[in-house]
Amino acid sequence: MTLDDAIRRRRSVRGFLPAEVPEATLREVFALAQWAPSNCNIQPWLPHVVSGARLQALRRALVGAAQASEPFAPDWPADGSYPGVYRDRQVDAARRLYGAMGVAREDRAGREAAYWRNHAAFDAPHAVFVFMLEPFDAREATDIGMWAQTLMLALTSRGIASCAQGALALYAPIVRRHLGLDERHRLMFGIAFGYEDAAVAANAARTGRVALDEAVRFHRD
């Protein structure tokens, strides 16, 4: 697969087969992602890859918290509301996702049920929880975004699907507790990954992008 193919083929997958990714492949993709650039090469990402019984226990705790309507406790504000054109794009992505799932816009219960799948990391066999140490901030967060896309492209090129999930950071204290981490570890997001289950309706969703000239300003004189 060429790099262009991997960039175009990567998409958010929200339904996985139970099969785990072989340990050697896991190590290979995370070793590759280490080559992401960062300010002054500080490499501020702190990924915790969770699989097997540990992931099952964490998944149960996150879903349990959501089902009990425990208040979210993210390390950064995350109310999910965007203004103007950003709202339009958000609505378009949601329309495509729920459309693929056959959930109508006014079907509140259906949308909620679909949303809750987030807390189960869509039943993926692996999830990586990505932390940043206090007092790092926006500058280091940009490094971590670059790392995450590098990782997801490395996964894609090996036929492994993924979904970055801000939702996996909504109960940060629970994740820290399960991984034995202190408060200085601030949870940014998680990425569910594994092999795609093509039978899951959500996986038929495709997002679009704004046109190049709407997105990018080219300056010369």
Ligand X SMILES: Cc1cc2nc3c(=O)[nH]c(=O)nc-3n(C[C@H](O)[C@H](O)[C@H](O)COP(=O)(O)O)c2cc1C
Contacting residues toward ligand X, per CB under 6 A = 11-12, 14, 93, 118, 163-167, 189, 207
Of 24 and 215, the one with the shorter C-beta distance to ligand X is 215
Question: Counting beta carbons within 10 angstroms of the beta carbon of residue 7, is it exposed (0 to 12), middle (13 to 18) or buried (19 or more)?
Answer: middle
Residue whose CB is less far from ligand X, 40 or 199: 199
Q: Residue 59 carries which side chain, given as an amino acid letter?
A: R
Q: Is 5 helix (H, G, I), strand (E, B) or coil?
A: helix
Residue 81 phi, psi (nearest 5): -110, 135
Q: CB of residue 165 vs ligand X: minimum separation in angstroms?
A: 4
Find the shortest distance in angstroms from Cβ 164 to ligand X. 4
Residue 203 DSSP code: G
> For the CA atoms of 102, 17, 10, 187, what is the dihedral angle to 10 degrees?
90
Nearer to ligand X, 118 or 150 (CB): 118
Residue (78 or 104) nearer to ligand X, CB: 78
CB of 141 to ligand X, least distance (A): 10
Q: Measuring CA to CA, which residue among 194, 206, 123 is closest to residue 159? A: 194
Angle at 187 between CA 28 and CA 165, to 5 degrees: 70
Min CB(133)–ligand X separation in Å: 18
Residue 199: both structure tokens together: 């039978």
Of the pair 34, 207, the CB lying nearest ligand X is at 207
CB of 220 to ligand X, least distance (A): 31
